[in-house]
Structure 1
Amino acid sequence: MIPLAMWFNVDFEKLMLLLTPTFLRKKVFIAYLYSLVLPITKLHYQWKVKRLSDWYKLEHTGQVCSLRKVLNDNLDPSLRRIWIGEGNSFQRKYIYTRAEKKPVFLGRMFIYQNSEYLNTGADFNVYVPSEIINTSKHQIDALIVFYKLASKRYKLYPI
């Protein structure tokens, strides 16, 4: 965690008051100095917020536990219903011609999407409640793309 007394925690209003000579510390003059310090204070606050968000991004990786935490923190903080599962990888079954002299009987077959076969499918599945998918699908995609490894593929499934 970040200690409270760090070099970047500067109270500019207090510093301005301490650097003002005592004989100039009148209400009108102090109010004027506050108005001069206000833009610096706002800029400093924006910098601190940006710094905290950057630290949050650096602390989380594309690992399953970390990615699940990021998704739940941003999209479902109270119920935390988003979870990540293994990707589907089914073997392809081929129908042979008579010239190939292979068995014709195929057995029981299931029809899968093209993306669910080996080396073409998703490496992991993200299970998200349907109301979250309906309201913020682009945010889900952006978070997953930001944190996942470049070679990994994913697929969203509504719960």
Structure 2
Amino acid sequence: MNWYRINYKRLVLLLSPTMLRRPRLVALLNATGLPVSRLHVLFSSFRGDVRYKLTHNGQVCFLQAVLNDSFDFTARRIRITDADTLEWGQFAWREAEDRPIMLGTFLLNREGFMGADGIDFVVHIPYAISLTDDNYNMIHSLLRYYKLAGKRYIIQLTVNS
């Protein structure tokens, strides 16, 4: 239903009396209707943003779509994987410290990969996307907005993609 699409120039012309439809009067009426027309453009933009936010949720496919729409809309290389299926290397357990240590090149003494403090998903962003501080903060804000409340994540730069 397209009830919100209004052509204000045509509406002004149709609502003006036929005997008074002169170019100067129509131009004056169009000028007085311009603020309403601009408000309508803002309303249409806001409506599109709200529809986009309502059609996307915390599912992995929608999170990927939101991130790719914002940062990589042509190649769509941003991926989200489950943290449990990733191979992070081998872990050793120190009984004295009661904390895991990774025996690989990725992590050392990092909380968030074992037990109840674990992460739930990993966002893979290719190096080709320029990850400035503003982009990094925007990615975090998008993920915080769309993800489920209890889910935790990390952002990882990937070489191939």
Amino acid at match of 1:116: F
What's the TM-score once normalised by structure 2's chain length?
Answer: 0.81
C-alpha displacement of 1:112:
4.5
CA RMSD of aligned residues (A): 2.2
Amino acid at match of 2:149: A
The answer for the alignment partner of 2:63 in structure 1 is 67
Corresponding residue to 1:23 among 19, 23, 26: 19
- Provide the identity percentage: 34
Distance 2:10 2:115 in 1: 64
Distance 1:155 1:61, change over 3 A: same
Distance 2:126 2:18 in 1: 61
Distance 2:140 2:131 in 1: 10
1:133, 1:158 within 8 Å by CA — same for their partners in 2? no
The answer for the alignment partner of 1:136 in structure 2 is 135
Distance 1:24 1:65 in 2: 57
Corresponding residue to 2:4 among 5, 8, 12: 8
Corresponding residue to 2:123 among 110, 123, 126: 126
Distance 1:63 1:11 in 2: 38
C-alpha displacement of 1:94:
3.8
Q: Is it true that 1:95 corresponds to 2:91 in the alignment? A: no
Q: Deviations over 1:55-74 (max 9, x none)?
A: 11100110111100111011
C-alpha displacement of 1:10:
1.5
Distance 1:141 1:62 in 2: 14
1:92, 1:117 within 8 Å by CA — same for their partners in 2? no
Structure 2: stretches of 5+ with no match in the other structure: 97-101
Structure number with the bigger relative contact order (C-alpha 8 A, sep ≥ 6) is 1
C-alpha displacement of 1:92:
7.3
Please say which structure displays the higher CA radius of gyration: 1
Distance 1:47 1:139 in 2: 24
- The count of corresponding residues between Structure 1 and Structure 2 is 144
Distance 2:37 2:150 in 1: 43
Write out aligned runs for 1:36-55 (5 A): 36-55=32-51
Q: Deviations over 1:82-111 (max 9, x none)?
A: 000112598772426xxxxxxxxxxxx624
C-alpha displacement of 1:122:
1.4
Distance 2:51 2:92 in 1: 44
Distance 1:119 1:32 in 2: 68
